[in-house]
Chain A
């Protein structure tokens, strides 16, 4: 029998682990501001700086995931984020590596911000947690695509950039319902086999996380 919940993500809206992103809200007292963002999230950072005094951006370091951007676009973003120090990285993974480096020697008084797609926000909150930062202390804003990182609950493998529901597990090949059930530790949504009883039944694939 088919899992009747497939394709009706709204039905999971009551799931408490599903993160909410209230928006970038400045902490004017922080000694330093560390902002991790992608191209879409950079717009939120620019807006954040516009709402604060000049000192706020001067105390800020922006780790910018520039994947998919041209050199001109990156250069333009650097200008718009002035006077913050911008460190451009080529990928989300590289951005998180750099974030972990900075957190490794950071002291209290640092405020962490994350803006962009959910996998980026989740990875930032996860890295913060590994460095003893309470998830509620990280100020977050979602921008851009709704695509998700999904963990297969069966093989534990991760599938990146998931836009459809159901989705095929990139590791074990099972067809997974993407739930709103979220793991902060793994920074991923949970995917559960949709047709375990009758593998030949394949529910319609819908684009739900574009």
Chain B
């Protein structure tokens, strides 16, 4: 399944911090679709040697679809996407993006929303807060950054939402006091976490230990598929064999070979690319957060956007 792509032009590039740039995208052809708070789009970037597709949260207000806005953190060990956006993309550059997709919506029936962001994890909350504020919903943001200079949109958020915003500066020894924040919340509060993986893991653990039901705890994280050694993917239905490079995901290798494989989020979250494994000469390294532990242990399924194998070859039901 190939998602519908649309062309956009970069109308504005703003350096937000030394490592974060904000891009404003406007439609080239037809008007942009509506989106909901927490949505993201996948941006396709034609690097010299390959096609890169990275998901970025939409951070504008859902009520304004004249443009889409994304923020991109330049990552040191980038696979190319964030460097491409920072170094190659200028005002006037045309790109292709997917339609907005929301895997991180606010719970409509919540009594209160506790948003917890670390660093660039602020981005999905920008649109979410616009939506929640417009609905008159009760929310508060707890936002941890390295320093004031390094933290994106701190001033803007404080001016827009005042006392709902709680900032924590790592260089001053401040951290989100999540345990304290989660105690004494009214029944029906929901917590949302976005940030680096260790922070998300810590937040999920803290919420569980505070006795919060899973249904009230939400997280989103976009990670690049981890690299490894090259291996061969055998397609059981077509009989083809395709090599997956060390810095490629199975999905990317299939796409490069012209195989139309299912995908949506490309981050191991949505479940769209779940693929049956018919044989595996090696060990599957599951990097998604979609399959259950039992499914991972069974070795019968793999999420091809994020997971790979350590070994020689894997046969997929494709």
Query: CB-nearest residue of chain A relative to B213?
Result: A137
What range describes how many residues of A lie at the interface? 10 to 19
Shortest B205–chain A CB gap in Å is 10
Q: Using C-beta atoms within 8 Å of the partner chain, give the interface range for chain B.
A: 20 to 34
> B182 interface residue, CB < 8 Å from A?
yes
Cβ of B109 and Cβ of A109 under 8 Å apart?
no
Q: How far is the CA of A124 from the CA of B110 in the complex (A)?
A: 19
Query: What CA separation (Å) do A106 and B182 show in the bound complex?
Result: 13
Instruction: Give A109's nearest chain B residue, CB to CB.
Output: B211
Within 211-229 of B, Cβ neighbours of A (below 8 Å) are at 211-216
Question: Does any Cβ of B come within 8 Å of A156's Cβ?
Answer: no
Asked if B5 is at the interface (CB within 8 A of a chain A CB), the reply is no
A137 engages B187 (CB within 8 Å): no
User: Does B208 make an interface contact (CB < 8 A)?
Assistant: yes
B188 lies within 8 A of A131 (CB): yes
Contact call A108/B187, Cβ cutoff below 8 A: yes
Query: Across the A-B interface, how many residue pairs have beta carbons closer than 8 Å?
Result: 58
Contacts of B17 in A (CB 8 A): none
Q: With an 8 A cutoff between CB atoms, is A111 at the interface?
A: yes
Q: Determine which residue in A108, A132, A134, A136 has the highest number of CB atoms from chain B within 10 A of its CB, and name it.
A: A108
Chain A contacts for B182, CB-based, 8 A: 108-109
B208 near A29 with CB under 8 A, answer yes
Nearest 8 CB-CB pairs, A to B? Answer: A132-B188, A30-B211, A137-B213, A109-B211, A134-B215, A108-B185, A132-B111, A29-B211
A58 close to chain B: CB less than 8 A: no
Contact of B184 with A by CB under 8 A: yes
Interface majority SS (helix, strand, loop, mixed), chain A: loop
Query: Does A200 touch B at the CB level, under 8 Å?
Result: no
Residues of A near B212 (CB, < 8 A) are 108-109
Query: Measured between alpha carbons, how far is A132 from B111 in the docked complex, in Å?
Result: 7
Nearest-neighbour CB distance to chain A for B208, whole angstroms, equals 6
Q: Could you list 13 further interchain pairs (A-B, Cβ under 8 angstroms) beyond the known A29-B211, A108-B187, A108-B210?
A: A29-B208, A30-B211, A32-B211, A106-B187, A108-B185, A109-B182, A109-B183, A109-B212, A110-B187, A111-B213, A132-B111, A134-B109, A134-B216
B210 pairs with A109, CB closer than 8 A: yes
Chain A residues with CB under 8 A of B216: 108, 134, 137
The reply on B156 being an interface residue by CB < 8 A is no
In the bound complex, residues from chain A placing their C-beta under 8 Å from that of B1 are: none
B187 touches A131 (CB 8 A): yes
Contact with B along A116-139 (1 / 0, CB 8 A): 000000000000000111101100
